[in-house]
Amino acid sequence: MGQAAIPMIAMAAMTAASTGAQVYSANKQASSQAAALRQQEEEARRTAESERQATKKAESNQADTNAILQASQDSNLSGGSTLLTSAQGVDDESLRLGGGNKLGA
């Protein structure tokens, strides 16, 4: 080997080192991108779960209008039912004036 071969060997070694550094950098960048993608997917899952819980909470705060309407149309409750008198209403005898107390006697 002569003096001319030494610079070529040095250049080949530098090229190999440069290629190795590029491969290492590319692998590092790929793993970094994969980690960022996993983080984005996890954040998307958390956001979707949060939205699902918010929707569920909002729905649970709404009145069940179908059940209320059905209860008001129930045959047992129709015919004068109020919160004070129930379905039977008030006895007519208890509404008559003039008896049962000292003022009406």
**How far is it, in rounded angstroms, from Cα 105 to Cα 103?**
6
Residue-wise pLDDT tens digits, 26-41: 999 999 999 999 999 9
Residue-wise pLDDT tens digits, 8-26: 777 888 898 889 889 888 9
Q: Does residue 16 contact residue 22 with C-beta atoms inside 8 Å?
A: no
Which string of DSSP letters, residue by residue, matches 19-42? HHHHHHHHHHHHHHHHHHHHHHHH
